Amino acid sequence: MKLHTPLCPECGAPAQGTLERISGRADFNIDPGPDVEVEYGGETDIWWDEQRTVLERDDAPESPTNRPVVCCPNGHTWATVIDR
């Protein structure tokens, strides 16, 4: 892959990767029921098949006008065209 804008416009660091959206299930510590108080159990099942790269606009497919979002090690994000 080749990034058209490989360096962060804010700090100049190189892109570390794409920003991703992932769904999952955070498990409870016990089975819930009426009047049973539950807490998070400390485990999350990540649904990797649903992983998607974040785009500038969620309402359109990836294209030169709807670029993927990348991020640097300092947490800054920016959109760039990625040639594959």
pLDDT at 6: 98
pLDDT at 65: 85
Query: Scanning the structure block, which residue is given the tokens 């098949």?
Result: 49
Q: Which residues contact 21 (CB under 8 A, 6 or more apart)?
A: 50, 51, 52, 53, 54
pLDDT at 33: 95
Taking the C-alpha atoms of residue 67 and residue 47, their distance in angstroms, rounded to an integer, is 24
For 57-76, what is each residue's pLDDT tens digit? Answer: 988 887 878 999 999 999 99
For 1-58, what is each residue's pLDDT tens digit? Answer: 999 999 999 999 999 999 999 999 999 999 999 999 999 999 999 999 999 999 999 8
pLDDT at 73: 98
Q: Domain residues of the chain, as ranges?
A: 1-19+54-84, 22-51
* The pairing of beta strand 77-79 with beta strand 69-71: antiparallel
